[in-house]
A and B are shown apart, each in its own frame.
Chain A
Amino acid sequence: MSLRILLVEDDRELRTTLREALAVEGYEVLPAASLADASALAAHAHGAGGIDIVLLDLGLPDGDGQALLAAIRADRATPVIVISARQADGQKIRLLDAGADDYLVKPFSIGELLARMRVALRHRGTIAQPAVTHYRHEGLEIDLRAHRVRLDGNDVHLTPTEFKLLARLVRNAGQVVTHRQLLADVWGAEFTEQTHYLRLYMGQLRAKLEPDPADPRRLLTEPGVGYRIVDATE
């Protein structure tokens, strides 16, 4: 059975284009032009096997999508990818902090969208299933269970904090993790404003794991949003 996508986008042209492009890739697309439509479709689909992934545009005529995200997340771990215009930064980060899986800034290419969807679908259900424990990318091997990091076959020594930070990124490999999420999970809920901690430790990690820290290939910065470790399959 093909995967089912709930596509929430109010612009008709873009909605049609995305729908066609996703249909070509073999997805079943449920298009919605507003949050109300989307809620109705989600409720209806609930009985028929549910929805596998949600593409949620921000700036819809009837709200900012936070309520829909909460409703979708209430009972299952359906991935949500936020699609935003560049100006809607604050809103985008709010939704990511609230548990959206990833984001794309308009305009984006179908290739980017499909890549993000693949990553999100792969992470689907990680709450119930054992989390990602292995990461392998161009000579970098990370084994979270064994607490081991190897670069080109050599062991890399990380401090406990560096390892925790890296592990948090690896568990969502290919997806953006916001500053707030990283700070809360690595340092604790009372440190969510201390973004300078992240600058320091990410710098240390890049120095240890990147051939050229100023031109990183794995530990990517999403300015103003968070960090992302590249997807292992890329």
Chain B
Amino acid sequence: MLALDGNVDLSNLAMVLVLTSAVASLWVPGWLSAVAAALAVLAFNWSFVPPRHHFAVDLREHLLLLVAMLAVSWIISALMIRQRQLAEGAGLHARREARLRSWSDTLRDAPDPALHASSLRDELTTIAGVPAAVIVLREQSAQPEDEPAILRFGDMDADQRAGLSLCVRQGQALGPGSGRHEEQPDWYLPLRGRDVTLGAAVLRGLGGQRDDRDLRAHAQALCDQMGLALQRSFAKREEQQAREQAQEQGVRNALLAAISHDYRTPLATIMGAASSLQAQADRLSLEQRRALASTIAEEAGRLSRLTDNTLQLARLGTPGVELRCDWESAEEIVGAALRRVRAHDPARRVRARLEPELPLLWCDAMLISQMLENLIDNALKYSPPESPVEILARRAGDRVVLAVRDRGPGIAPAWRDRVFEVFQRGVEPNPAGMAESERRGAGVGLAVCRAIARAHAGELRLRPRGHGGSSFECSIPIRDAPAPPAPGDPS
């Protein structure tokens, strides 16, 4: 400006000054540019306005010029301040929008949104710049005072706990600026779903910002996202429970129907034979009476096995069931099962073949022999009276396979997996076209066999045999057996 001094007139110099201060206000804060403009006008007065080097102003038009300069600079500064505020507001708004969106994404993907309540607390702490705390209900019907049913995140004192409870009960914001409990130092915001409140958040010591509506709206939006997510997850959980319950009920009904069916047949036989003995004893020959009595004994045996199977099925179905496992030899288990089935295998159709040197099995011997007994019974029942039934024990990699094989008609592919389900009978045509009377008793039997195999971390499968017949194969994992007794026993 000093260089231009003398070349251009005073008002043009003034324009340069105004231009400079306008340009400066683009970079420096608004208040600083306002102060700088005032100082610049004073300096201009000192340096250029006659009398020079003096603050006095000779001409009235010069005074007007100075005032106009100052006014224009200040107006520019004020506009810049306003502009910046607007830009900042818009930026904040956009940032908050983004946070809200990412928050709602987080919640949408969460299987249990309650576990994100600590993130909500962190989010609130970040946006408000004060410590926050959150409580969340674990059940839709829970009460906020019901300690086991709520989760707490963040520090809170007794007052704040009470405030949070009240906030949940009323489902409305409390604290300064909310129109309720204005005297409180903290803000309380409910986590609202549709028509319910599933938690609350407290922003501690935020009373001073009572009028920050944007912050309140944003914080409330975050809280409501949480409330909605909680409500959604509760609804989902309830729906799932209802579905499971219905399914369980269905299975139980099928089980009961089938059990009562399975029980009724031997019971009817026993009833018939016993009542015949009771009413007609004196007209029956000794031979006939003996036959009736042995029918009763046989059917009672069948009922007893059925009861064992049903009880075992129920027991193995309960979670956390404990087996009485020990180191057992396959030979002994097979032997015990054979001895029991001999009672209804007078023709000795059942033969056992065991691979030598089988490892000991870690299993519940009673259960495994019960399983074999069922499988053998089944094989005897569903194969021609003269055909052999084989029990085979062999090692296959890290498992021992116990197989029961028959030369019966086999089982249609569609039924190969379903025979293990409890009680498919009567709903569909029978496998292999067997008459209902021939198929009795298979329902619980195979289901309990598979349950026993699975309780031992094993599996029971049905494989069709090459030249006809079925092979039921149970595989049980081999575990490291303990050391044999120390030598010192000369042979």
Contacts and interface: CB of A to CB of B under 8 A. Distances in A.
B338 A224 contact: no
Contact of A199 (B304, B308, B332, B489): B332
A72 B484 CA distance: 39
A223 B366 contact: yes
Interface in A191-234: 194-197, 199-200, 202-203, 206, 212-216, 220-224
Contacts of A202: 329, 332
Nearest to B300: A107
B335 A216 contact: yes
B353 interface: yes
Nearest to A197: B485
Contact of B324 (A89, A187, A206): A89
Given A195-B326, A216-B335, A159 B489 contact: yes
Interface in A15-58: none
B327 A224 contact: no
Contacts of B365: 221, 223-224
B331 A214 contact: yes
Contact of B366 (A89, A216, A220): A89
Contacts of B473: none
Nearest to B342: A215
Given A107-B304, A196-B484, A206-B331, A214 B352 contact: yes
Given A87-B311, A159-B489, A159-B491, A221 B327 contact: no
Interface in B300-327: 300-301, 304, 308, 311, 324, 326-327
B334 A224 contact: no
B478 interface: no
Interface residues of B, number: 36
A160 B488 CA distance: 10
B10 interface: no
A122 interface: no
Nearest to B304: A107
Nearest to B340: A223
B48 to A, nearest CB: 111
B273 to A, nearest CB: 16
Given A197-B484, A200-B485, A222 B336 contact: yes
Contacts, number: 82
Contact of B333 (A212, A215, A223): A223
B335 A194 contact: no
A109 B353 contact: no
Contacts of A148: none
Contacts of B364: 224
Interface in A75-99: 86-87, 89-90
Nearest to B334: A214
Contacts of B490: 159-160
A218 to B, nearest CB: 11
B332 to A, nearest CB: 4
A196 to B, nearest CB: 4
Interface string B177-213: 0000000000000000000000000000000000000
A196 B361 CA distance: 10
Given A160-B489, A195-B327, A199-B360, A223 B332 contact: yes
A161 B366 contact: no
Given A89-B366, A223-B365, A223-B369, A213 B331 contact: yes
A200 B485 CA distance: 9
A17 to B, nearest CB: 12
Nearest to B353: A214
Contacts of A86: 308, 311
Given A197-B485, A224-B324, A109 B297 contact: yes
A191 to B, nearest CB: 8
A127 to B, nearest CB: 29
Given A214-B391, A223-B332, 10 more contacts: A107-B300, A109-B297, A161-B489, A196-B482, A196-B484, A197-B484, A199-B329, A199-B360, A222-B336, A224-B326
